[in-house]
Amino acid sequence: MDLHFEELLKQITDFMKTEANTDTVIGKQFDLGAFKCVPVIKVGMGFGSGGGENHEKKDRSAEGIGAGAGVGIEPIGFLVTKGDHISFLEAGKTHGIAALFEKVPDLVEKIIKERNKEQAEV
Residue 43 belongs to what domain range? 5-91
32 and 64 within one domain: yes
Note whether 90 and 80 are within 8 A (CB). no
Query: Could you tell me if 116 and 108 are in contact, meaning their C-beta atoms sit under 8 angstroms apart?
Result: no
Does residue 101 share a domain with residue 83?
no
Q: Do 63 and 23 sit in the same domain of this protein?
A: yes
Do 11 and 57 lie in one domain? The reply is yes
Confidence of residue 52 (pLDDT cuts 50, 70, 90): confident
Total-model pTM: 0.46
What pLDDT digit, counting tens, does each position of 84-95 carry? Answer: 888 888 887 666
**At residue 78, does pLDDT exceed 80?**
yes
Kindly provide the b/e burial profile for residues 93-122, where b requires at least 16 CB atoms within 10 angstroms of the residue's own CB: eeeeeeeeeeeeeeeeeeeeeeeeeeeeee
Quote the CA–CA distance of 38 and 82 in Å, as a whole number. 12
pLDDT digits (tens, 9 = 90+) for 17-51: 777 665 666 778 888 888 888 888 887 878 777 77
